[in-house]
Structure 1
């Protein structure tokens, strides 16, 4: 005899009833009862018909798909949030480095190049840690699939890392005395440093934005439905984070471009995040970012971004204010990434966010007279 977790839903079986001698009269009486009760219960449901057999599985409820989410949430944790955060800093730091090299700002160029190399290394380490084994990252580089954001993102990260390695090596060699074997190495890097700087700048923006496309390409409702606004949120967040980092590392006299980039990032993120919230509110799936697990992080990120932006405007001559504002901006970016990740996972765990959007779209098509494009809309 075997048992099943669904046995608890089966009603207790009663002993077989003895057939009456007058089988015809019993059949007529049973048929009359079925007709009388047919209006309130059907032969296919749990309450009546046949031998009163119960379904083999529990009734599906709106809160689950037989006890499971409709969309399987990704098994991500803080490592992916860190990957998104430091990857954004790396991308926009390369842009700052190119601008500083073009304008002759050597201090800002050196700091931003070193920052980009460190953060892109941390980004790769966080990604490999989430994948579990380093060879999984190498396996993604065996092919190029333009329709896969993960494949394209892997090549963007690898190409950016190569350019950043060249510019950082050139910067480090310039800081060391040109003696012995370092001299020919410096001469070998000199012709390729400028092209590497340009390549790093060109791939900086895609590195900061592709992770938003990666999230939006999934079926998680909050991420997928905000696919038009999420790239702007991530790019703005990366700009204010990298600007804040250079405000921490670079003296006031050389950090002017970083402050301007940080202010641009603050404005971009706040506007894009507001549009994202309004869009999700129209779809009635904004609870994860308003009152869900990541809502507190997103609210604090907004407060820190505003405070950091105001401090950046006032920190032109105050080093302490610049340090405080830079730290606030970097923290705001980290909280934004973590809050977005948590909100997206929460929206996949609760089936109502998936079903609600689908039902609203079906209803909108029905109201427009479109009833033949889906079997569930056929009247």
Structure 2
């Protein structure tokens, strides 16, 4: 029981430490406390009503969207390497890459349309061109790229209209980088925390992953004598993918947890192992053994696929857990409050 008493002369017999601390927040970003003062209420923890997610997580299926991300990257980078192979006198490698790019973009479009529900929804996106919308621009890029990649592959296999085939090859190569990377901008433009906050490094991850995948397709399908540039590209692509991924995870802080834990963590670790093994095997043994080249190519393809599926699952997990939305928002608000206090 309290023994204090309120009189006309003030409070008599009050206990020390019972005074209210006026104007002091409980969080890190609240008003700065003076030396010796302590908060009377512990810092609030993140939560949401009835344990529901703060965000409405995307209703995307991995079989559609993650496959769409992977196949688009394979197609775009493959067209760039195909043009390079054709210009440097490597016809078999060029043809293999053209065919793989056509198959990949067809599969990517099919996965996208299946996710949308019906083809009419894809064509509805073409009614306008909105420069600020990655989905709008990406849809138009696919419409331009698909026929170019198709003509390049079909005319090469048929041996017809070679000037037109070369023009289609160059056109597909010009659009290839956009096809390989616009999906990174697309997912970073969402509210999904693990994707949105990785907007700086995500395009680099996708470029490296796509280059490694396309190089792997060449190693898998082309003769050893024609794959020297692709082996170098595999090393560069795998190196860029791993470096950008590590940089992104380090910068994300707590938001890197979904990339390291659970299913997404296992996929990202598998991607690292497969990419390094494929690049090293291609560089060291791919020029000597057809079997080693094929195995290295398969490892590079599998590593790229694991990267895209790992990124997909990491984003979905971050959208389902409230802390990945609440805590970063609180930290940003605290940083702004601290900056205002120090600047005052």
Report the TM-score range of the alignment, normalised by the length of the smaller protein.
0.7 to 0.9
Give the 4+ runs in structure 1 shifted more than 4 A: none
Aligned counterpart, 1:145: 130
Aligned counterpart, 2:255: 285
Inter-partner Cα distance in structure 2 for 1:330 and 1:109 = 18
Number of aligned residues: 301
Inter-partner Cα distance in structure 1 for 2:300 and 2:213 = 6
Query: Alignment partner of 2:177: what SS?
Result: helix
Shift of 1:64: 2.3
What pairs up with 1:82-101 in 2 under 5 angstroms?
82-101=67-86
What pairs up with 1:56-135 in 2 under 5 angstroms?
62-77=46-61, 78-135=63-120
Shift of 1:293: 3.1
Structure 1 portions without partners, runs of 5+: 1-38, 41-59, 175-185, 373-379
Shift of 1:65: 3.4
Given that 1:92 and 1:208 are in contact with CA atoms closer than 8 Å, whether structure 2 keeps it comes out as yes
Aligned counterpart, 1:312: 282
Q: Does 1:193 align with 2:165?
A: yes
Which structure would you say has the larger Rg?
1
TM-score by length of 1: 0.76
Given that 2:126 and 2:139 are in contact with CA atoms closer than 8 Å, whether structure 1 keeps it comes out as yes
Given that 1:298 and 1:339 are in contact with CA atoms closer than 8 Å, whether structure 2 keeps it comes out as yes
Aligned CA-pair RMSD: 2.0
Given that 1:365 and 1:371 are in contact with CA atoms closer than 8 Å, whether structure 2 keeps it comes out as no
Inter-partner Cα distance in structure 2 for 1:293 and 1:252 = 36
Q: Does 1:228 align with 2:228?
A: no
Q: Does 1:343 align with 2:314?
A: yes
Q: Which digits, 9 at most, give the CA deviation of each residue in 1:12-39, with x for residues without a partner?
A: xxxxxxxxxxxxxxxxxxxxxxxxxxx9
Shift of 1:191: 3.8
Shift of 1:169: 2.1
Inter-partner Cα distance in structure 1 for 2:101 and 2:87 = 17
Q: Does 1:258 align with 2:217?
A: no
Q: Does 1:329 align with 2:314?
A: no
Q: Does 1:276 align with 2:261?
A: no
Shift of 1:309: 1.5
TM-score by length of 2: 0.84
Q: Does 1:300 align with 2:270?
A: yes
Aligned counterpart, 1:178: none
Inter-partner Cα distance in structure 1 for 2:298 and 2:271 = 12
Shift of 1:66: 4.0
Given that 1:97 and 1:109 are in contact with CA atoms closer than 8 Å, whether structure 2 keeps it comes out as yes
Aligned counterpart, 1:267: 239
Q: Which digits, 9 at most, give the CA deviation of each residue in 1:33-73, with x for residues without a partner?
A: xxxxxx99xxxxxxxxxxxxxxxxxxx98332344211111
Aligned counterpart, 1:212: 184
Query: Alignment partner of 1:368: what SS?
Result: helix
Given that 1:93 and 1:116 are in contact with CA atoms closer than 8 Å, whether structure 2 keeps it comes out as yes
